[in-house]
């Protein structure tokens, strides 16, 4: 029986609920009748052997994974669970080489698990903070130059701007050296359903964290931790108990029903809807490019407009809002637009009309996102990431932070290259970049 069917059936029986949650199914907001807890027959997310594991198997079939674990707390939980599972597999502290452009969930996981990552920088032509693409060569260099074997490589792909890493090349580099590859694919669950698939599972990653809710029709908070069929033996069994270490013991059944419904859709017409959405998005991309505007996203369901045609990215976002459109993200250099099969014809029309009519001007002195200083500069480390993140801290304006020890990662958005990581000393160069991205304050130890 599906999770959705079980919960609907329970709601229809009008049982007197002497269990949590206290709303007892009263439709205060509307969804309460279907918001249940681990009653008899409802299974239990972290010790599942009933309807939840059945639904997870259905999803694993759609993704071609060995096993897929649901998360009702997004990729944030999947990331912590993945790292903890590797730590438990090894049975000792682990060494991780990680893209410095990462989400805060990874940094928190490192602090909680006592991981001191070896940072990999993106070798990016544009040097924008939100770019996360590290190359296979950079990974090979890091693994080969490490004095001790690296247990896992952690990368983010796609990044926030829609750029894709060479996951296949990185997986080859990792596996030749006996290293586990974990991919934060929060933005790329839908990549599985392209022809051909661009999902990291199909590119050789061992563990993949997807935020189902970002690109599939799932309630906010729904995510997956996929374990690949080629992952080291024993890893799959460690994932759920590892997620349990960080997750709530009251995961939302509304979110799990949504993941369950999505599994059914993925076995039905949704993959074709995704491909159709990508074709429609490519038509909008063509309009944008015909106006001489650059779309720097490599993803087929995301548009990233480079704001270098007479507007700052935040001004462009404001203009879009005036035309009844809300972007995903804007900073001085780019505006990110995320599309899905559930965008309507009107949404596509608005987008096309906006970019067909917007005035395009070029100024010779357009401010470029040259953060080469940041990428060249390796801040000095004073204390461990864990010690800095668990210390008491105060927020200060960037100008007052020079020479102090950073306590919380300073980022323009998540994921992005942290200007300074916890435990590192804040330099005058770092402060320049913080100000460029209008980061108003930074936490210091």
Ligand X SMILES: Cc1ncc(COP(=O)(O)O)c(C=O)c1O
Q: Which residues bind ligand X (CB under 6 A)?
A: 74-76, 103, 105, 156, 184, 186-187, 211, 223, 414-415
Q: Which is nearer to ligand X, 184 or 206 (CB)?
A: 184
Q: Measure Cα distances from 103 to 98, 373, 414 in Å.
A: 11, 22, 5
- Sign of CA pseudo-dihedral 247, 249, 250, 251: positive
CB of 104 to ligand X, least distance (A): 8
Q: Comparing C-alpha atoms, which of 63, 64, 45, 41 is closest to residue 53?
A: 45
CB of 153 to ligand X, least distance (A): 16
CB of 252 to ligand X, least distance (A): 13
Measured between alpha carbons, how far is 405 from 427 in angstroms, rounded to an integer? 10
Q: Residue 27 has which token pair?
A: 């439709």
- Is the bond leading into 158 cis (omega within 30 degrees of zero)? yes
**Helices (H), ranges, 177-312:** 212-215, 235-246, 253-266, 270-290
Q: Residue 239 has which token pair?
A: 């994932």
Q: What is the DSSP string of 306-344?
A: E--SSS-HHHHHHHHHHTT---SEE-SSEEEEE--TTS-
CB of 130 to ligand X, least distance (A): 10
Q: Which is nearer to ligand X, 389 or 444 (CB)?
A: 389
Q: Which is nearer to ligand X, 42 or 83 (CB)?
A: 83
Return the bridge partners of 442, or none.
396
The string over 192-208, giving b where at least 16 C-beta atoms fall within 10 Å of a residue's C-beta and e elsewhere, is bbbeeebbbbbbbbbbb
Q: What are phi and psi of 145, to 5 degrees?
A: -95, -5
CB of 163 to ligand X, least distance (A): 12
Q: Which is nearer to ligand X, 65 or 76 (CB)?
A: 76
Q: How many helices (H) and strands (E) does the chain have?
A: 15, 14
DSSP 8-state symbol, 149: -
Longest pairwise C-alpha distance within the chain: 71
Q: Which is nearer to ligand X, 170 or 405 (CB)?
A: 170
Q: Which is nearer to ligand X, 100 or 280 (CB)?
A: 100
> What 3-state class would DSSP assign to 240?
helix
Q: Which is nearer to ligand X, 141 or 298 (CB)?
A: 298
Measured between alpha carbons, how far is 346 from 316 in angstroms, rounded to an integer? 20
For the CA atoms of the chain, what is the radius of gyration?
22
Q: Comparing C-alpha atoms, which of 216, 236, 271 is closest to residue 74?
A: 216
Q: Which is nearer to ligand X, 302 or 404 (CB)?
A: 302
CB of 147 to ligand X, least distance (A): 29
C-beta nearest to ligand X: residue: 74
Q: What are phi and psi of 279, to 5 degrees?
A: -65, -40
Q: Which is nearer to ligand X, 65 or 157 (CB)?
A: 157
CB of 206 to ligand X, least distance (A): 17
Q: Which is nearer to ligand X, 65 or 211 (CB)?
A: 211
CB of 9 to ligand X, least distance (A): 29
CB of 362 to ligand X, least distance (A): 31
C-alpha 147: how far from chain center: 30
CB of 404 to ligand X, least distance (A): 28
CB of 248 to ligand X, least distance (A): 13
CB of 76 to ligand X, least distance (A): 3
Q: Which is nearer to ligand X, 103 or 280 (CB)?
A: 103
Q: Residue 154 has which token pair?
A: 């952690």
- The count of C-alpha atoms lying within 13 angstroms of the C-alpha of 168, restricted to the half-sphere facing its C-beta, is 5
Q: Which is nearer to ligand X, 156 or 412 (CB)?
A: 156
CB 182 within 8 A of CB 82: yes
């Amino acid at each position: 029986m599906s999770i959705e069917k079980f919960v609907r059936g329970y709601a229809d029986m009008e049982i007197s609920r002497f269990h949590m949650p206290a709303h007892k199914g009263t439709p205060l907001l509307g969804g309460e009748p279907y918001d249940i807890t681990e009653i008899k027959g409802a299974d239990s997310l972290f010790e599942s052997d009933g309807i939840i594991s059945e639904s997870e198997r259905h999803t694993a079939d759609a993704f071609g994974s060995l096993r897929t674990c649901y998360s009702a707390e997004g990729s944030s939980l999947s990331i912590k669970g993945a790292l903890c599972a590797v730590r438990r597999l090894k049975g000792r502290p682990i060494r991780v080489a990680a893209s410095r452009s990462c989400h805060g969930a990874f940094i928190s996981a490192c602090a909680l698990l006592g991981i001191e990552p070896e940072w990999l920088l993106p070798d990016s032509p544009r040097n924008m903070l939100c770019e996360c693409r590290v190359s296979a060569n950079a990974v090979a260099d890091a693994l080969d130059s490490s004095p001790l074997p690296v247990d896992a490589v952690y990368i983010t792909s796609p990044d926030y701007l829609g750029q894709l890493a060479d996951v296949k090349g990185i997986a080859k580099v990792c596996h030749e050296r006996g290293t586990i590859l974990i991919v934060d694919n929060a933005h790329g669950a839908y990549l599985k359903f392209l022809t051909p698939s661009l999902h990291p599972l199909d590119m050789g990653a061992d563990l993949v964290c997807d935020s189902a809710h970002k690109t599939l029709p799932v309630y906010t908070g729904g995510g997956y931790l996929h374990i690949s069929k080629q992952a080291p033996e024993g890893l799959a069994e460690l994932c759920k108990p590892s997620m349990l270490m960080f997750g709530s013991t009251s995961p939302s059944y509304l979110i799990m029903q949504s993941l369950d419904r999505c599994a059914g859709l993925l076995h039905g017409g949704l993959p074709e809807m995704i491909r159709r959405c990508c074709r429609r998005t490519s038509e909008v991309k063509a309009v944008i490019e015909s106006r001489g505007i650059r779309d720097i996203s490599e993803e087929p369901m995301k548009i990233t407009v480079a704001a270098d045609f007479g507007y700052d990215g935040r001004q462009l976002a404001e203009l879009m809002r005036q035309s009844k459109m809300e972007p995903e993200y804007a900073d001085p250099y780019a505006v990110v637009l995320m599309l899905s099969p559930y965008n309507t014809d009107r949404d596509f029309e608005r987008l096309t009309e906006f970019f067909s009519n917007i005035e395009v001007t070029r100024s010779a002195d357009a401010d470029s996102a040259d953060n080469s200083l940041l990428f060249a500069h390796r801040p000095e480390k004073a204390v461990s990431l864990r010690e800095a993140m668990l210390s008491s801290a105060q927020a200060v304006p960037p100008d007052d932070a020079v020479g102090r020890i950073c306590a919380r990662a300073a980022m323009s958005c998540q994921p992005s290259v942290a200007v300074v990581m916890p435990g590192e000393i804040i330099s005058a160069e770092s402060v320049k970049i913080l100000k460029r991205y209008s980061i108003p304050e930074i936490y210091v130890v």
